[in-house]
């Protein structure tokens, strides 16, 4: 591509959301910053905010009001409850005058088949294992093993599930 074409491309609005077949996107869903790429049959309910780059698998359901920051990877058949927050950004602890110091990002991965409950918060760098459940209102500070239910603040394992 020539220099002029590249420059012109830079002037066009970037395509912030792309998906496979059969997506259903509710009203007031914002795709901000980098691209969000989704697979087939993805449903995103109203009032969600997604800051790409984000990767979403097939048959994922994201309930209303979810807030998802950049560098999140969501597997296939994941369910995300209303008002859940997947937060990849944080700050190094600064001095007393400004405790929120230099910005840092740590990716989050949600494994295939997992369920993130309503109003749960998943913190930077966490991997939620395949088939795991994060209970409503949990704050997840550490990786969740596959097929495990975690609940509470901070989230702790409350049950192991049959991996089948």
Cβ neighbors of 123 (< 8 A, separation 6 or more) are 87, 90, 139, 140, 141
Q: Is 144 in the site for ligand COA (CB under 6 A)?
A: no
28 is catalytic: no
118/134 Cα distance (integer angstroms)? 9
Query: Which listed range, 27-35, 103-111, 122-130, 149-157, lies at the site for ligand COA (CB under 6 A)?
Result: 149-157
Q: Is 63 in the site for ligand COA (CB under 6 A)?
A: yes
Q: Is 53 in the site for ligand COA (CB under 6 A)?
A: no
Spacing of C-alpha 124 from chain mean position = 11
Exactly one of 135, 140, 144, 147 binds ligand COA (CB under 6 A); which one?
135
Query: Which listed range, 36-44, 66-74, 121-129, 151-159, lies at the site for ligand COA (CB under 6 A)?
Result: 151-159
Q: Is 86 in the site for ligand COA (CB under 6 A)?
A: no
Cβ neighbors of 96 (< 8 A, separation 6 or more) are none
Q: Is 60 in the site for ligand COA (CB under 6 A)?
A: no
Q: What are the start-end ranges of the E strands in 78-164?
A: 79-80, 85-86, 89-93, 100-105, 108-110, 115-116, 121-122, 127-128, 133-134, 139-140, 148-151, 156-160
What residues are annotated to the active site? 91
Judged by the rule CB under 6 A, the positions of this chain that interact with ligand COA are 63, 79, 81-82, 117-118, 133, 135-137, 149, 151-152, 158-159
């Amino acid at each position: 591509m020539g220099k002029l074409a590249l420059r012109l491309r830079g002037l066009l609005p970037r395509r912030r959301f792309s998906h496979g077949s059969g997506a259903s996107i509710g009203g007031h869903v914002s795709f901000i910053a980098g691209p969000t790429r989704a697979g087939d049959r993805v449903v995103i309910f109203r009032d969600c905010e997604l800051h790409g780059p984000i990767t979403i698998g097939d048959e994922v359901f994201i309930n209303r009001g979810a807030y998802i920051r950049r560098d999140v990877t969501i597997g296939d058949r994941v369910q995300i409850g209303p008002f859940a927050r997947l937060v990849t950004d944080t700050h190094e602890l600064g001095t007393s005058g400004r405790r929120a110091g230099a910005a840092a990002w740590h990716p989050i991965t949600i494994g295939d088949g997992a369920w993130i409950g309503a109003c749960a918060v998943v913190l930077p760098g966490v991997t939620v294992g395949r088939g795991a459940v994060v209970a409503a209102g949990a704050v997840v500070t550490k990786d969740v093993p596959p097929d495990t239910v975690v609940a509470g603040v901070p989230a702790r394992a409350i049950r192991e599930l049959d991996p089948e």
